Chains A and B, each alone.
Chain A
Amino acid sequence: MYEYRTLKELLEQAKSHGVRLHHIALRREAEVSEESEAHLLKKMEARIEVFRESIEAGLHDAAPSRSGLTGGDAVKLARKKATLLGPIARKAQMYALATSEANAKMFRIVACPTAGACGIVPGVMAALIEEKHVSREAATLALFTGSAIGEVIARNASIAGAVGGCQAECGTAAAMAAAIATELAGGTDEESLEAMALALKNTLGLTCDPVAGLVEVPCVKRNAALAVLAVGAAEMALAGIKSFIPPDEVIAAMSAIGRAMPVSLKETSEGGLAKTPTAQATQRRLQQEMNQ
Protein backbone atom coordinates (compact mmCIF):
# COMPACT_ATOMS: atom_id res chain seq x y z
CA MET A 1 0.00 0.00 0.00
CA TYR A 2 1.23 3.46 -0.91
CA GLU A 3 -0.31 5.78 1.63
CA TYR A 4 0.92 9.21 2.62
CA ARG A 5 -0.77 11.98 4.51
CA THR A 6 2.08 14.47 4.62
CA LEU A 7 4.88 15.52 2.29
CA LYS A 8 7.34 14.13 4.81
CA GLU A 9 5.69 10.70 4.53
CA LEU A 10 5.68 11.01 0.75
CA LEU A 11 9.41 11.73 0.70
CA GLU A 12 10.13 8.88 3.15
CA GLN A 13 8.20 6.43 0.96
CA ALA A 14 10.15 7.53 -2.10
CA LYS A 15 13.41 7.10 -0.21
CA SER A 16 12.55 3.68 1.18
CA HIS A 17 11.53 2.38 -2.26
CA GLY A 18 14.50 4.04 -3.93
CA VAL A 19 12.30 5.94 -6.39
CA ARG A 20 11.21 9.53 -7.07
CA LEU A 21 8.19 11.29 -5.54
CA HIS A 22 6.28 11.08 -8.80
CA HIS A 23 6.61 7.28 -8.82
CA ILE A 24 4.98 7.03 -5.40
CA ALA A 25 2.21 9.41 -6.48
CA LEU A 26 1.63 7.33 -9.61
CA ARG A 27 1.65 4.01 -7.77
CA ARG A 28 -0.77 5.28 -5.15
CA GLU A 29 -3.14 6.59 -7.80
CA ALA A 30 -2.97 3.22 -9.55
CA GLU A 31 -3.91 1.51 -6.29
CA VAL A 32 -6.76 3.84 -5.42
CA SER A 33 -8.26 4.01 -8.92
CA GLU A 34 -7.56 0.36 -9.80
CA GLU A 35 -6.22 1.54 -13.16
CA SER A 36 -2.89 0.59 -14.76
CA GLU A 37 0.05 2.98 -14.46
CA ALA A 38 0.27 3.14 -18.25
CA HIS A 39 -3.37 4.25 -18.45
CA LEU A 40 -2.87 6.91 -15.74
CA LEU A 41 0.24 8.25 -17.48
CA LYS A 42 -1.74 8.58 -20.69
CA LYS A 43 -4.54 10.39 -18.88
CA MET A 44 -2.06 12.79 -17.29
CA GLU A 45 -0.31 13.37 -20.62
CA ALA A 46 -3.68 14.31 -22.10
CA ARG A 47 -3.91 17.06 -19.47
CA ILE A 48 -0.71 18.58 -20.86
CA GLU A 49 -2.44 18.66 -24.26
CA VAL A 50 -5.30 20.61 -22.70
CA PHE A 51 -2.76 22.99 -21.08
CA ARG A 52 -1.46 23.77 -24.57
CA GLU A 53 -4.98 24.12 -25.97
CA SER A 54 -5.96 26.63 -23.22
CA ILE A 55 -2.78 28.66 -23.75
CA GLU A 56 -3.39 28.84 -27.50
CA ALA A 57 -7.01 29.86 -26.90
CA GLY A 58 -5.91 32.72 -24.63
CA LEU A 59 -3.16 33.88 -27.00
CA HIS A 60 -5.37 33.90 -30.09
CA ASP A 61 -8.54 35.38 -28.68
CA ALA A 62 -8.10 39.03 -27.72
CA ALA A 63 -11.82 39.56 -27.12
CA PRO A 64 -13.04 40.62 -23.68
CA SER A 65 -14.82 38.18 -21.39
CA ARG A 66 -18.62 38.26 -21.16
CA SER A 67 -18.50 40.71 -18.26
CA GLY A 68 -15.85 42.81 -20.02
CA LEU A 69 -13.63 42.74 -16.92
CA THR A 70 -10.75 40.78 -18.45
CA GLY A 71 -9.36 39.59 -21.76
CA GLY A 72 -6.75 40.68 -24.30
CA ASP A 73 -3.84 41.10 -21.90
CA ALA A 74 -1.98 37.90 -22.78
CA VAL A 75 -1.91 39.16 -26.37
CA LYS A 76 -0.32 42.39 -25.13
CA LEU A 77 2.46 40.43 -23.43
CA ALA A 78 2.97 38.27 -26.50
CA ARG A 79 3.34 41.26 -28.80
CA LYS A 80 5.99 42.97 -26.72
CA LYS A 81 9.53 41.70 -26.21
CA ALA A 82 10.36 41.18 -22.54
CA THR A 83 11.90 44.22 -20.92
CA LEU A 84 12.78 42.81 -17.52
CA LEU A 85 12.04 39.10 -17.25
CA GLY A 86 14.18 36.23 -18.51
CA PRO A 87 12.69 33.84 -21.08
CA ILE A 88 11.29 31.28 -18.61
CA ALA A 89 9.67 33.79 -16.26
CA ARG A 90 8.31 35.75 -19.25
CA LYS A 91 6.70 32.71 -20.82
CA ALA A 92 5.39 31.44 -17.48
CA GLN A 93 3.71 34.81 -16.92
CA MET A 94 2.34 35.10 -20.46
CA TYR A 95 1.03 31.53 -20.61
CA ALA A 96 -0.53 31.72 -17.14
CA LEU A 97 -2.32 34.89 -18.18
CA ALA A 98 -3.43 33.30 -21.46
CA THR A 99 -4.83 30.26 -19.64
CA SER A 100 -6.68 32.31 -17.05
CA GLU A 101 -8.14 34.58 -19.72
CA ALA A 102 -9.25 31.51 -21.67
CA ASN A 103 -10.91 30.26 -18.47
CA ALA A 104 -12.80 33.54 -18.02
CA LYS A 105 -14.06 33.13 -21.59
CA MET A 106 -15.21 29.56 -20.99
CA PHE A 107 -12.65 27.76 -23.04
CA ARG A 108 -11.60 24.34 -21.82
CA ILE A 109 -9.01 24.29 -19.03
CA VAL A 110 -7.63 21.85 -16.48
CA ALA A 111 -8.62 22.74 -12.94
CA CYS A 112 -5.26 22.61 -11.15
CA PRO A 113 -6.15 22.65 -8.45
CA THR A 114 -9.20 24.81 -9.27
CA ALA A 115 -10.52 26.71 -12.29
CA GLY A 116 -9.77 30.07 -10.66
CA ALA A 117 -6.10 29.06 -10.23
CA CYS A 118 -5.84 27.19 -13.52
CA GLY A 119 -3.13 29.31 -15.19
CA ILE A 120 -0.16 28.89 -12.87
CA VAL A 121 0.81 25.24 -13.35
CA PRO A 122 0.29 25.19 -17.15
CA GLY A 123 2.11 28.52 -17.52
CA VAL A 124 5.19 27.39 -15.63
CA MET A 125 5.18 23.92 -17.16
CA ALA A 126 4.84 25.12 -20.77
CA ALA A 127 7.64 27.65 -20.23
CA LEU A 128 9.94 24.88 -18.96
CA ILE A 129 8.94 22.47 -21.74
CA GLU A 130 9.85 25.05 -24.38
CA GLU A 131 12.90 26.64 -22.83
CA LYS A 132 14.48 23.59 -21.20
CA HIS A 133 13.46 21.13 -23.92
CA VAL A 134 11.82 18.88 -21.36
CA SER A 135 10.55 15.53 -22.72
CA ARG A 136 6.86 14.71 -22.69
CA GLU A 137 7.55 11.83 -20.33
CA ALA A 138 9.43 13.97 -17.81
CA ALA A 139 6.68 16.61 -17.93
CA THR A 140 3.99 13.98 -17.33
CA LEU A 141 5.84 12.57 -14.33
CA ALA A 142 6.44 16.04 -12.90
CA LEU A 143 2.70 16.62 -13.06
CA PHE A 144 2.31 13.63 -10.73
CA THR A 145 4.66 15.37 -8.29
CA GLY A 146 2.53 18.48 -8.55
CA SER A 147 -0.68 16.53 -8.07
CA ALA A 148 0.67 14.76 -4.98
CA ILE A 149 1.45 18.15 -3.46
CA GLY A 150 -2.01 19.44 -4.33
CA GLU A 151 -3.54 16.35 -2.80
CA VAL A 152 -1.60 16.67 0.46
CA ILE A 153 -2.60 20.35 0.72
CA ALA A 154 -6.26 19.52 0.00
CA ARG A 155 -6.15 16.85 2.69
CA ASN A 156 -4.41 18.86 5.41
CA ALA A 157 -5.63 22.37 4.59
CA SER A 158 -7.97 23.23 1.71
CA ILE A 159 -7.91 24.19 -1.94
CA ALA A 160 -11.21 26.10 -1.86
CA GLY A 161 -11.27 29.89 -1.79
CA ALA A 162 -14.50 29.78 0.20
CA VAL A 163 -12.68 27.83 2.93
CA GLY A 164 -9.13 29.21 2.91
CA GLY A 165 -9.06 32.32 0.72
CA CYS A 166 -6.90 32.69 -2.38
CA GLN A 167 -3.84 31.30 -0.59
CA ALA A 168 -5.65 27.95 -0.77
CA GLU A 169 -6.27 28.22 -4.52
CA CYS A 170 -3.55 30.29 -6.22
CA GLY A 171 -1.16 29.62 -3.32
CA THR A 172 -1.54 25.87 -3.79
CA ALA A 173 -1.15 26.25 -7.56
CA ALA A 174 2.07 28.25 -7.07
CA ALA A 175 3.37 25.60 -4.65
CA MET A 176 2.62 22.84 -7.17
CA ALA A 177 4.20 24.83 -10.00
CA ALA A 178 7.35 25.64 -7.98
CA ALA A 179 7.91 21.94 -7.27
CA ILE A 180 7.29 21.01 -10.90
CA ALA A 181 9.70 23.70 -12.15
CA THR A 182 12.38 22.49 -9.73
CA GLU A 183 12.01 18.91 -10.91
CA LEU A 184 12.02 19.84 -14.59
CA ALA A 185 15.12 21.99 -14.11
CA GLY A 186 16.96 18.96 -12.73
CA GLY A 187 16.41 19.49 -9.00
CA THR A 188 16.11 16.76 -6.40
CA ASP A 189 12.87 15.78 -4.66
CA GLU A 190 14.03 17.56 -1.50
CA GLU A 191 14.61 20.70 -3.54
CA SER A 192 11.15 20.40 -5.10
CA LEU A 193 9.57 20.31 -1.65
CA GLU A 194 11.64 23.30 -0.51
CA ALA A 195 10.47 25.19 -3.59
CA MET A 196 6.91 24.19 -2.74
CA ALA A 197 7.31 25.53 0.82
CA LEU A 198 8.95 28.77 -0.37
CA ALA A 199 6.13 29.42 -2.84
CA LEU A 200 3.33 28.62 -0.40
CA LYS A 201 4.92 30.63 2.39
CA ASN A 202 4.99 33.70 0.21
CA THR A 203 1.34 33.48 -0.73
CA LEU A 204 0.08 33.03 2.84
CA GLY A 205 -2.71 35.38 3.79
CA LEU A 206 -3.95 35.95 0.25
CA THR A 207 -7.65 36.73 0.37
CA CYS A 208 -10.38 35.73 -2.06
CA ASP A 209 -12.27 38.99 -2.76
CA PRO A 210 -13.29 38.88 -6.41
CA VAL A 211 -15.06 41.83 -8.00
CA ALA A 212 -18.80 41.14 -8.49
CA GLY A 213 -18.22 37.53 -7.46
CA LEU A 214 -16.61 36.70 -10.80
CA VAL A 215 -13.42 34.67 -11.24
CA GLU A 216 -11.75 37.54 -13.11
CA VAL A 217 -10.51 40.43 -10.97
CA PRO A 218 -8.03 39.98 -9.35
CA CYS A 219 -7.82 36.27 -10.27
CA VAL A 220 -6.68 36.45 -13.89
CA LYS A 221 -3.66 38.70 -13.35
CA ARG A 222 -2.90 37.02 -10.05
CA ASN A 223 -2.33 33.79 -11.94
CA ALA A 224 0.24 35.62 -14.07
CA ALA A 225 1.94 37.16 -11.04
CA LEU A 226 2.14 33.92 -9.08
CA ALA A 227 3.53 31.97 -12.03
CA VAL A 228 6.58 34.25 -11.80
CA LEU A 229 6.68 33.80 -8.02
CA ALA A 230 6.73 30.02 -8.53
CA VAL A 231 9.69 30.27 -10.93
CA GLY A 232 11.48 32.44 -8.37
CA ALA A 233 10.84 29.93 -5.59
CA ALA A 234 12.26 27.15 -7.78
CA GLU A 235 15.35 29.26 -8.51
CA MET A 236 15.99 29.68 -4.80
CA ALA A 237 15.50 25.98 -4.06
CA LEU A 238 17.81 24.99 -6.93
CA ALA A 239 20.49 27.19 -5.36
CA GLY A 240 20.18 25.12 -2.19
CA ILE A 241 18.09 27.64 -0.26
CA LYS A 242 15.78 25.97 2.24
CA SER A 243 12.51 27.12 3.77
CA PHE A 244 13.16 27.71 7.47
CA ILE A 245 9.65 26.36 8.17
CA PRO A 246 9.33 22.77 6.83
CA PRO A 247 6.79 22.13 4.02
CA ASP A 248 4.14 20.35 6.12
CA GLU A 249 4.24 23.07 8.76
CA VAL A 250 3.71 25.72 6.08
CA ILE A 251 0.62 23.79 4.95
CA ALA A 252 -0.66 23.67 8.54
CA ALA A 253 -0.06 27.42 8.85
CA MET A 254 -1.99 28.03 5.64
CA SER A 255 -4.90 26.05 7.04
CA ALA A 256 -4.85 27.99 10.33
CA ILE A 257 -4.68 31.33 8.50
CA GLY A 258 -7.62 30.27 6.34
CA ARG A 259 -9.69 29.47 9.40
CA ALA A 260 -8.80 32.80 11.00
CA MET A 261 -9.66 34.76 7.86
CA PRO A 262 -13.00 36.61 8.04
CA VAL A 263 -15.81 35.25 5.87
CA SER A 264 -15.97 38.59 4.04
CA LEU A 265 -12.61 37.73 2.46
CA LYS A 266 -13.43 34.14 1.51
CA GLU A 267 -15.21 34.20 -1.84
CA THR A 268 -18.23 36.13 -0.65
CA SER A 269 -17.29 39.44 -2.33
CA GLU A 270 -18.22 41.27 0.85
CA GLY A 271 -14.81 42.78 1.57
CA GLY A 272 -11.40 43.77 0.25
CA LEU A 273 -11.09 44.53 -3.44
CA ALA A 274 -14.76 43.62 -3.97
CA LYS A 275 -15.81 46.53 -1.73
CA THR A 276 -13.73 49.22 -3.45
CA PRO A 277 -15.67 52.03 -5.16
CA THR A 278 -14.64 50.78 -8.59
CA ALA A 279 -15.73 47.23 -7.77
CA GLN A 280 -19.07 48.40 -6.39
CA ALA A 281 -19.75 50.53 -9.47
CA THR A 282 -18.84 47.57 -11.68
CA GLN A 283 -21.13 45.28 -9.75
CA ARG A 284 -24.04 47.72 -10.15
CA ARG A 285 -23.39 48.00 -13.88
CA LEU A 286 -23.31 44.21 -14.31
CA GLN A 287 -26.51 43.81 -12.27
CA GLN A 288 -28.27 46.35 -14.49
CA GLU A 289 -27.06 44.60 -17.63
CA MET A 290 -28.29 41.29 -16.26
CA ASN A 291 -31.75 42.67 -15.52
CA GLN A 292 -32.14 43.92 -19.08
Chain B
Amino acid sequence: MIGPSSSHTAGAARIGLLARRILGEVPVEATITLYGSFAKTYKGHGTDRALIAGLLGYSADDARLREAFSHARLEGLSFSFVRSEEETAHPNTARIAMRGTSGKRTEVVGVSLGGGRIEIREIDGFPVELNGEEHTLITLHRDQPGVIARTTAILSAAEINISTMRVFRRAKHANAVMLISTDLPVAEDIVESIESVPAIECVLTLEPL
Protein backbone atom coordinates (compact mmCIF):
# COMPACT_ATOMS: atom_id res chain seq x y z
CA MET B 1 0.00 0.00 0.00
CA ILE B 2 0.96 3.65 -0.04
CA GLY B 3 1.63 5.09 3.43
CA PRO B 4 2.28 6.80 5.68
CA SER B 5 -0.70 5.46 7.63
CA SER B 6 -2.76 2.37 6.97
CA SER B 7 -5.78 4.05 8.55
CA HIS B 8 -5.31 7.64 7.35
CA THR B 9 -3.94 6.93 3.87
CA ALA B 10 -4.68 3.40 2.64
CA GLY B 11 -8.05 3.32 4.42
CA ALA B 12 -8.94 6.73 2.98
CA ALA B 13 -8.09 5.53 -0.53
CA ARG B 14 -10.36 2.54 -0.06
CA ILE B 15 -13.22 4.75 1.16
CA GLY B 16 -12.80 6.88 -1.98
CA LEU B 17 -12.75 3.82 -4.23
CA LEU B 18 -15.83 2.27 -2.65
CA ALA B 19 -17.62 5.64 -2.87
CA ARG B 20 -16.88 5.75 -6.61
CA ARG B 21 -18.26 2.25 -7.07
CA ILE B 22 -21.39 3.13 -5.12
CA LEU B 23 -21.90 6.16 -7.37
CA GLY B 24 -21.57 3.67 -10.23
CA GLU B 25 -20.09 6.14 -12.69
CA VAL B 26 -17.11 8.46 -13.09
CA PRO B 27 -17.33 11.30 -10.56
CA VAL B 28 -16.77 14.81 -11.92
CA GLU B 29 -17.33 16.73 -8.71
CA ALA B 30 -16.80 15.87 -5.05
CA THR B 31 -17.13 17.73 -1.79
CA ILE B 32 -15.42 15.89 1.03
CA THR B 33 -16.02 16.72 4.68
CA LEU B 34 -13.45 15.43 7.15
CA TYR B 35 -14.13 14.82 10.83
CA GLY B 36 -12.12 14.03 13.96
CA SER B 37 -8.57 12.82 13.47
CA PHE B 38 -9.02 12.96 9.68
CA ALA B 39 -9.75 16.70 9.94
CA LYS B 40 -6.76 17.33 12.20
CA THR B 41 -4.04 15.39 10.40
CA TYR B 42 -5.20 14.93 6.84
CA LYS B 43 -2.49 16.95 5.13
CA GLY B 44 0.43 15.25 6.86
CA HIS B 45 -1.00 11.81 6.18
CA GLY B 46 -2.04 12.55 2.62
CA THR B 47 -5.62 11.59 3.54
CA ASP B 48 -6.87 14.19 1.04
CA ARG B 49 -4.80 12.82 -1.84
CA ALA B 50 -5.74 9.26 -0.90
CA LEU B 51 -9.49 10.02 -0.96
CA ILE B 52 -9.16 11.67 -4.36
CA ALA B 53 -7.05 8.75 -5.65
CA GLY B 54 -9.85 6.40 -4.61
CA LEU B 55 -12.45 8.56 -6.35
CA LEU B 56 -10.27 8.38 -9.48
CA GLY B 57 -10.52 4.58 -9.24
CA TYR B 58 -6.97 3.96 -7.99
CA SER B 59 -6.34 1.20 -5.49
CA ALA B 60 -4.56 1.76 -2.16
CA ASP B 61 -1.23 0.57 -3.57
CA ASP B 62 -1.26 2.66 -6.74
CA ALA B 63 1.82 4.91 -6.87
CA ARG B 64 -0.26 7.62 -8.61
CA LEU B 65 -1.79 8.31 -5.18
CA ARG B 66 0.99 10.78 -4.34
CA GLU B 67 0.09 12.94 -7.34
CA ALA B 68 -3.66 12.35 -7.16
CA PHE B 69 -4.50 16.08 -7.28
CA SER B 70 -2.81 16.62 -10.63
CA HIS B 71 -4.39 13.42 -11.99
CA ALA B 72 -7.78 14.72 -10.83
CA ARG B 73 -7.25 17.93 -12.81
CA LEU B 74 -6.29 15.92 -15.91
CA GLU B 75 -9.28 13.63 -15.55
CA GLY B 76 -11.76 16.44 -14.94
CA LEU B 77 -12.62 15.77 -11.30
CA SER B 78 -13.11 18.98 -9.34
CA PHE B 79 -13.06 18.65 -5.58
CA SER B 80 -13.04 20.56 -2.33
CA PHE B 81 -12.34 19.66 1.27
CA VAL B 82 -14.20 20.90 4.34
CA ARG B 83 -12.91 20.40 7.86
CA SER B 84 -15.68 19.84 10.38
CA GLU B 85 -15.52 20.31 14.14
CA GLU B 86 -18.64 18.18 14.55
CA GLU B 87 -18.31 15.12 16.81
CA THR B 88 -18.71 11.79 15.02
CA ALA B 89 -19.04 8.25 16.33
CA HIS B 90 -15.65 7.29 14.88
CA PRO B 91 -12.55 9.55 14.88
CA ASN B 92 -11.63 8.78 11.25
CA THR B 93 -14.71 9.80 9.32
CA ALA B 94 -15.18 11.26 5.83
CA ARG B 95 -18.40 12.36 4.12
CA ILE B 96 -18.22 12.37 0.33
CA ALA B 97 -20.86 14.13 -1.75
CA MET B 98 -20.33 13.23 -5.42
CA ARG B 99 -21.81 14.11 -8.81
CA GLY B 100 -21.17 11.76 -11.74
CA THR B 101 -20.90 12.32 -15.50
CA SER B 102 -24.65 11.78 -15.98
CA GLY B 103 -25.47 14.29 -13.24
CA LYS B 104 -26.31 11.55 -10.72
CA ARG B 105 -25.63 12.57 -7.13
CA THR B 106 -24.75 10.30 -4.22
CA GLU B 107 -23.49 10.97 -0.74
CA VAL B 108 -21.66 8.40 1.38
CA VAL B 109 -20.10 8.44 4.83
CA GLY B 110 -17.08 6.21 5.39
CA VAL B 111 -14.90 5.45 8.40
CA SER B 112 -11.38 4.05 8.51
CA LEU B 113 -11.02 1.38 11.18
CA GLY B 114 -7.24 0.77 11.12
CA GLY B 115 -4.90 -1.44 9.12
CA GLY B 116 -6.62 -0.28 5.92
CA ARG B 117 -9.98 -1.74 6.92
CA ILE B 118 -12.93 0.55 6.27
CA GLU B 119 -16.68 0.72 6.52
CA ILE B 120 -19.21 2.74 4.57
CA ARG B 121 -21.78 3.68 7.21
CA GLU B 122 -24.22 5.77 5.24
CA ILE B 123 -25.43 5.95 1.64
CA ASP B 124 -27.75 8.85 0.79
CA GLY B 125 -28.84 9.09 4.38
CA PHE B 126 -29.42 5.36 4.82
CA PRO B 127 -27.48 3.78 7.66
CA VAL B 128 -25.54 0.84 6.20
CA GLU B 129 -22.49 -1.27 7.04
CA LEU B 130 -20.34 -2.04 4.04
CA ASN B 131 -16.69 -3.08 4.29
CA GLY B 132 -15.84 -3.71 0.64
CA GLU B 133 -14.37 -7.12 1.39
CA GLU B 134 -17.02 -9.28 -0.26
CA HIS B 135 -19.18 -9.36 -3.36
CA THR B 136 -22.12 -7.25 -2.34
CA LEU B 137 -25.52 -6.64 -3.85
CA ILE B 138 -27.44 -3.55 -2.77
CA THR B 139 -31.10 -2.97 -3.51
CA LEU B 140 -33.15 0.15 -3.11
CA HIS B 141 -36.77 -0.92 -2.68
CA ARG B 142 -40.09 -0.21 -1.02
CA ASP B 143 -40.60 -1.92 2.32
CA GLN B 144 -43.36 -4.48 1.72
CA PRO B 145 -43.89 -8.21 2.33
CA GLY B 146 -42.15 -10.65 -0.02
CA VAL B 147 -39.38 -8.48 -1.44
CA ILE B 148 -36.66 -10.13 0.61
CA ALA B 149 -37.99 -13.66 -0.01
CA ARG B 150 -38.21 -13.10 -3.78
CA THR B 151 -34.69 -11.69 -3.93
CA THR B 152 -33.11 -14.49 -1.93
CA ALA B 153 -35.08 -17.06 -3.94
CA ILE B 154 -33.47 -15.76 -7.15
CA LEU B 155 -30.02 -15.99 -5.57
CA SER B 156 -30.76 -19.44 -4.24
CA ALA B 157 -31.90 -20.65 -7.67
CA ALA B 158 -28.60 -19.40 -9.07
CA GLU B 159 -26.76 -21.35 -6.34
CA ILE B 160 -25.23 -18.20 -4.91
CA ASN B 161 -24.46 -18.51 -1.23
CA ILE B 162 -25.28 -15.51 0.97
CA SER B 163 -22.66 -14.88 3.64
CA THR B 164 -24.30 -11.94 5.42
CA MET B 165 -27.43 -9.95 4.87
CA ARG B 166 -28.85 -6.76 6.34
CA VAL B 167 -32.02 -4.82 5.72
CA PHE B 168 -32.64 -1.18 6.61
CA ARG B 169 -35.73 0.96 6.12
CA ARG B 170 -36.55 4.60 6.67
CA ALA B 171 -40.00 3.77 8.03
CA LYS B 172 -42.76 1.20 7.65
CA HIS B 173 -43.66 0.83 3.94
CA ALA B 174 -41.13 3.54 3.03
CA ASN B 175 -37.83 3.31 1.15
CA ALA B 176 -35.59 0.48 2.26
CA VAL B 177 -32.28 -1.08 1.32
CA MET B 178 -30.93 -4.60 1.43
CA LEU B 179 -27.22 -5.32 1.64
CA ILE B 180 -26.46 -8.88 0.61
CA SER B 181 -22.90 -10.22 0.69
CA THR B 182 -22.28 -13.29 -1.42
CA ASP B 183 -19.44 -15.78 -1.87
CA LEU B 184 -19.73 -15.56 -5.65
CA PRO B 185 -20.21 -12.55 -7.90
CA VAL B 186 -23.82 -11.99 -9.02
CA ALA B 187 -24.01 -12.12 -12.82
CA GLU B 188 -25.73 -9.44 -14.90
CA ASP B 189 -28.76 -11.60 -15.84
CA ILE B 190 -29.43 -12.42 -12.18
CA VAL B 191 -29.20 -8.72 -11.32
CA GLU B 192 -31.77 -8.08 -14.04
CA SER B 193 -34.19 -10.63 -12.65
CA ILE B 194 -33.82 -9.11 -9.18
CA GLU B 195 -34.50 -5.69 -10.67
CA SER B 196 -37.75 -7.05 -12.08
CA VAL B 197 -39.05 -7.98 -8.62
CA PRO B 198 -42.01 -5.66 -7.89
CA ALA B 199 -41.13 -2.91 -5.39
CA ILE B 200 -37.42 -3.05 -6.21
CA GLU B 201 -36.30 0.23 -7.70
CA CYS B 202 -32.67 -0.42 -8.44
CA VAL B 203 -29.89 -2.89 -7.80
CA LEU B 204 -26.18 -2.19 -7.46
CA THR B 205 -23.42 -4.78 -7.33
CA LEU B 206 -19.99 -4.19 -5.81
CA GLU B 207 -16.82 -6.20 -6.30
CA PRO B 208 -14.51 -6.68 -3.32
CA LEU B 209 -11.96 -3.84 -3.20
B115 touches A213 (CB 8 A): no
**B4 and A103 contact, CB distance less than 8 A:** yes
Contact pattern, A 207-219, Cβ under 8 Å of B = 1, otherwise 0: 0000011111000
Question: At the interface, yes or no: B128 with Cβ under 8 Å from chain A?
Answer: no
In this complex, how many residues of chain B approach chain A with their Cβ under 8 Å: the count is 25
When the two chains form their complex, are residues B37 and A213 in contact, meaning their CB atoms are under 8 A apart? yes
From the candidates A66, A160, A212, name the one contacting B115 in the complex (CB within 8 A): A160
Contact between chains at A111 and B116 (CB < 8 Å): yes
**Shortest distance between the CB of A97 and any CB in chain B (Å):** 14
Binding site for A on B (CB under 8 A): 1-10, 37, 40-41, 43-46, 49, 61, 63, 65-66, 114-116
Judging by beta carbons under 8 Å apart, are A115 and B9 in contact?
yes
Say whether A7 faces chain B, with CB atoms less than 8 Å apart.
no
Is A159 a contact partner of B1 (Cβ separation < 8 A)?
no
Pick the residue among A66, A107, A215 that contacts B5 (CB under 8 A): A215
Q: Which residues of B contact A109 (CB under 8 A)?
A: 1-3
Question: Does A106 contact B1, Cβ atoms closer than 8 Å?
Answer: no
- Contact indicator B10/A115 (Cβ below 8 Å): yes
A264 contacts the other chain (Cβ, under 8 Å)?
no
Main secondary structure of the interface of A (DSSP, over half): loop
How far, in angstroms, from A163 to B115 measured CA to CA in the complex? 11
In the complex, are the beta carbons of B37 and A116 less than 8 A apart? no
Q: Mark A184-211, 1 if CB is under 8 A from B, else 0.
A: 0000000000000000000000000000
**Least distance between B46 CB and chain A CB atoms (Å):** 5
Q: Does A286 interact with chain B (Cβ within 8 Å)?
A: yes
Known pairs A66-B43, A108-B61, A213-B41; A163 contacts B114 (CB<8 A) = yes
Determine whether the beta carbon of B3 is less than 8 Å from that of A286: no
Top 10 nearest A-B pairs (CB, nearest first) are: A103-B3, A213-B41, A115-B3, A115-B6, A160-B114, A215-B4, A214-B44, A106-B66, A67-B44, A215-B5
- Which one of B40, B45, B66, B115 lies within 8 Å of A215 (CB-CB)? B45
Cross-interface CB contact of A216 among B4, B10, B46, B114, cutoff 8 Å: B4
Find out whether the CB atom of B6 lies under 8 angstroms from the CB atom of A116.
yes
Known: A66-B44, A290-B43. A116 touches B4 (CB 8 A): yes
Tell me whether A114 and B115 are in contact (CB under 8 A): yes
B1, A115: Cβ atoms closer than 8 Å: yes
Interface of chain B: mostly helix, strand, loop or mixed: helix
Q: Do the beta carbons of B3 and A212 come within 8 Å of each other?
A: no
Which residues of chain A are within 8 angstroms of B9 by Cβ–Cβ distance? 106, 115
Does the CB pair B65–A159 fall under 8 Å? no
Whether the pair A159, B44 counts as a contact (CB closer than 8 A) is no
Number of A-B residue pairs with CB-CB distance less than 8 Å in the complex they form:
82
Question: A residues near B, CB below 8 A?
Answer: 65-67, 102-111, 113-116, 118, 159-163, 212-216, 286, 290
A108 touches B45 (CB 8 A): no
CA distance A192 to B68 in the complex (A): 42
B120 to chain A minimum Cβ distance, whole angstroms, is 20
Whether B40 lies near A159 (C-beta < 8 A) is no
What is the bound-complex CA distance between A286 and B7, given in angstroms? 20
Measured in the bound complex, the distance between the Cα atoms of B10 and A162 in whole Å is 16
Residues of A within 8 A of B63 (CB): 107-108
In the bound assembly, the distance between CA atoms of A166 and B32 in angstroms comes to 30
Task: Give the residues in chain A near B115, CB-CB below 8 Å.
Answer: 111, 113-114, 159-160
Query: A106 and B44 in contact (CB under 8 A), knowing A113-B115, A159-B115, A162-B114?
Result: no
Nearest CB in chain B: distance from A208 CB, A: 11
Docked-complex contact B10 and A214, CB < 8 angstroms: no
B43 and A215 within 8 A (CB)? no
Bound: A162/B6 CA distance, A: 12
Question: Which residues from chain A contact B61 at a C-beta distance below 8 Å?
Answer: 108
**Which residues of chain A are near B49, meaning CB under 8 Å?**
106
Give bound CA distance, A81 to B153, whole Å.
Answer: 70
Which one of B10, B44, B46 contacts A111 once the chains associate, using CB atoms below 8 Å? B10
**A213 touching B44 in the complex, CB below 8 Å, given contacts A106-B66, A111-B1:** yes
Q: Which residues of A sit under 8 angstroms from B40, Cβ to Cβ? A: 213
For B114, list chain A residues within 8 Å (CB).
114, 160-163
- Bound form: Cα–Cα A67–B7 in Å: 18
Is B10 touching A106 in the complex (CB atoms < 8 A)?
no
The answer for the CA separation of A164 and B40 in the assembled complex, in Å, is 22
B179 → A minimal CB distance (Å)? 23
Residue in B closest to A54 when the chains form the complex, CB atoms: B3
Q: Which residue of A lies closest to B68 (CB)?
A: A106
